[in-house]
């Protein structure tokens, strides 16, 4: 898989890999798995999107936030793993900072999942849960945690 070339072909520019916000590692490897820490929608201007989905943000804005979170994940993977070392997405935990009444979490998280499919093809589509959190760090609208299989 040539994800770097695909990224260029699609004209996608990644934000910088987000700085660490606590005591953790961005990626930990074990066997041929890499566990990627939860990421938020970190942007090129080095700020995070924020707001609660269902009140501050509508579905479309939330999908953009999920896509931006995917771009931040790709930036970290590019830096810590190498995009062309990714064999498959194994598992994605998509967490939406939503109002208690919100119910379209899968559509929100598709914003990230479609990006990964565009970049990695069908191997970019993993197992998934898309769920609603009561709150998220700094009131970011989306946080996504990833497990991938990598070439080592």
Q: Give the interface with a copy of itself as residue ranges (CB under 8 A).
A: 21-28, 30-33, 35-38, 52, 54, 88-93, 95-107, 109-110, 113-114, 117, 125-139, 143, 145, 147, 149
The closest alpha carbon to 79, from 110, 47, 39, belongs to 39
Cβ distance to a copy of itself smaller for residue 12 or 93: 93
Instruction: Check: CB of residue 92 under 8 Å from CB of residue 128.
Output: yes
How near is the Cβ of 52 to a copy of itself at its closest, in Å? 7
**Which residues 6+ apart lie within 8 Å of 90 measured at CB?**
33, 126, 127, 147, 148, 149
How near is the Cβ of 134 to a copy of itself at its closest, in Å? 4
**Which residues 6+ apart lie within 8 Å of 38 measured at CB?**
93, 95, 143, 144, 145
Cβ distance to a copy of itself smaller for residue 7 or 76: 76
Query: Rounded to whole angstroms, how far apart are CA atoms 39 and 73?
Result: 6
For the chain, the first-to-last Cα distance in angstroms comes to 14
Cα three-residue angle 134-74-129, rounded to 5 degrees: 40
Cβ distance to a copy of itself smaller for residue 11 or 31: 31
Cβ distance to a copy of itself smaller for residue 16 or 118: 118
How near is the Cβ of 62 to a copy of itself at its closest, in Å? 12
How near is the Cβ of 11 to a copy of itself at its closest, in Å? 21
Cβ distance to a copy of itself smaller for residue 43 or 147: 147
How near is the Cβ of 3 to a copy of itself at its closest, in Å? 17
């Amino acid at each position: 898989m040539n994800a770097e070339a695909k990224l260029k072909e699609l004209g996608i520019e990644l934000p910088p890999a987000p700085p660490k916000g606590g005591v953790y590692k961005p990626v930990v490897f074990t066997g041929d798995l890499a566990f990627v820490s939860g990421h938020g929608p970190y942007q090129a201007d080095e700020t995070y999107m924020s707001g609660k989905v269902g009140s501050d943000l509508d579905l479309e804005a939330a999908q953009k936030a999920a896509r931006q979170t995917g771009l931040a994940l790709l930036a970290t993977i590019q830096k810590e793993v190498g995009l062309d070392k990714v064999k498959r997405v194994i598992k994605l935990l998509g967490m939406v900072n939503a109002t208690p009444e919100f119910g379209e979490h899968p559509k929100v998280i598709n914003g990230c999942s479609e990006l990964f499919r565009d970049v990695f093809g069908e191997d970019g589509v993993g197992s998934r849960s898309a769920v609603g959190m009561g709150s998220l760090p700094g009131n970011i609208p989306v946080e996504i945690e990833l497990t991938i299989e990598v070439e080592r």
